[in-house]
Amino acid sequence: MKALAFVVIFALFHLISSDSEDVRRLVEERDLLREQVKSLRDEIKLHSSSRDESCDYLQNRIDDLQRTVKAKRDEKDTLKIGIETAKKEMTSLAKCKADKDSTGKYHKSQIRFQGKYHFPVKPIKRAKMEDPETLKSLQEGLPIVITGSNLTSSALRWNIEFLGKELKNQFVRIFVSSNRQFRYHNMKFETTAAYYEWQPPFRIHEGLFQEFIEMTNDFKKADNGSRAYFQYLINELNLTESMDDDFNEFNWNWIHDTVLPATKWGQLKHNLLLVGMNDVSTPVHFDGMENLFSMIYGHKRCILFDPSQYKGLYPFPIHHPHDRQSQVDFDNPNFEMFPRFREVHGYDTILGPGEVLYIPSHWWHYIESERDSMTVSLNFWFYPAWHEKDDQENWKDLVPDAVDQLLVKQEVETLIAESFHPTKVKDVLKEILDKRFDFIEAKRPEKDTVDGE
């Protein structure tokens, strides 16, 4: 029995001392255990008068030792996890340091966003305005963040206080939502809205701009999830003289002398001014316009997906009020209904004042405002190069392949909707497919055998 006990003790001892990570601690523990074994031996001598008694005693001591060893092991695992977490934190701190913006005013690590997403993202390329990479990306239709841009530097004073004073008495429309999402909807499809049993996800309040500012303060205080977002085409606003001067001072030369000739985009269609409460999100959608999205105040997290991600983002039907919007709710994705959403992968960036993000036409984009500050941004929407297709023989060459596929799908759906009825698209598509292509699958095994021979 003694021999057995010693074998077990020796094995346990060996188990501890053979684990070589965290060596110093383990050596100390081993010495401690050696001492315990030594005192155990002494104790055994003392108890050897009664064989059964000393067996029980030994068994208890072995159990104790086993428990100690297990506890030490758990402790070591916890230590290992701690070390891993610290390493990750160090890496992300180093990344944040590298992300410090060109003006050196803020660390991106200090900006917090509410959303949590499962899909992988790669960072969107960044370059200065004069860097040849910038124009190359615009020409190739690939997203880029233009850092230290002077496109709208005259508007960098358009913070909330300034806008509150300048636009104070303007009568405007304000978007009001009971949650953080503002999914755009087009009321021109009101007739089909009933068929889809659709309700507007947010309401539109008409009032003075001053009311918008008050609303944001009230909602912040109430902290009940309600949010307000102001989105207005700039030409629909009566800009004050100082705002008008700032607008005229934008770097229009860069647009007209450099961007438009190089990209062949059509003319500027609109500038949309967006003044958002903290923590608002514009759900993922695409626009048919080329977009230079300029950040003026606060920060936004922008996630982009190229047009080929169509399948994973499940756009609403074309005649639905949410045309061009994804059906997937990023804050609460339904993977059962939208299983291909698991496979999407995007590009992301955090955009700060003085930075401009190029969102190519038909690229999906999701935009989220920082959690703790209001934001101001202004976009520049240009017609894409192939917009005037009737005047351009080679317009097809100007359309990137992924956009082309998306346009074809849209055209097929539109044609069916307009020839039959928007509510008939699904049935007509089904009819077109029904049993007409099955012979291809039916033939396939035969073909496989031939190939396999």
Ligand X SMILES: O=C(O)CCC(=O)C(=O)O
State in angstroms the smallest separation of the CB of 428 from ligand X. 31
Pseudo-torsion of CA 408, 412, 413, 419, nearest 10°?
150
H/E element, 367: strand 364-369
Nearer to ligand X, 152 or 291 (CB): 291
Nearer to ligand X, 131 or 329 (CB): 329
H/E element, 202: none
The residues pairing with 369 across neighbouring beta strands, listed in sequence order, are: 300
State in angstroms the smallest separation of the CB of 189 from ligand X. 19
Q: By C-alpha distance, which of 283, 259, 321 is closest to 179?
A: 283
Nearer to ligand X, 40 or 215 (CB): 215
State in angstroms the smallest separation of the CB of 401 from ligand X. 23
* Rounded Cα gap, residues 362 and 383, in angstroms: 11
Task: State both tokens at 56.
Answer: 């029980």
Nearer to ligand X, 54 or 377 (CB): 377
Residue 372 CB-half CA count within 13 A? 3
State in angstroms the smallest separation of the CB of 261 from ligand X. 24
Task: Name the closest residue to ligand X (Cβ).
Answer: 282
Residue ranges binding ligand X (CB under 6 A): 272, 274, 282, 287, 291, 293, 300, 365, 367, 377, 379
Q: By C-alpha distance, which of 237, 243, 247, 236 is closest to 166?
A: 243
Residue 256 is classified by DSSP as: I
Nearer to ligand X, 54 or 349 (CB): 349
Nearer to ligand X, 365 or 387 (CB): 365
State in angstroms the smallest separation of the CB of 80 from ligand X. 42
104 phi-psi bin (left φ>0, alpha ψ -120 to 50, beta other):
left
For 178-198, b where at least 16 C-beta lie within 10 A, e where not — what string?
eebbbbbbeeebeebbeebeb
State in angstroms the smallest separation of the CB of 324 from ligand X. 10
- Per DSSP, the residues of 98-145 read HH--TT-S--GGG--------S-EEEPPEEETTSHHHHHHHHHT--EE
State in angstroms the smallest separation of the CB of 330 from ligand X. 13
State in angstroms the smallest separation of the CB of 291 from ligand X. 5
Nearer to ligand X, 228 or 367 (CB): 367
Residue 410 CB-half CA count within 13 A? 20
Nearer to ligand X, 148 or 288 (CB): 288
State in angstroms the smallest separation of the CB of 425 from ligand X. 26
**Beta carbons of 259 and 211 less than 8 angstroms apart:** no
* Rounded Cα gap, residues 274 and 175, in angstroms: 11
Nearer to ligand X, 137 or 375 (CB): 375
Residue 417 CB-half CA count within 13 A? 14
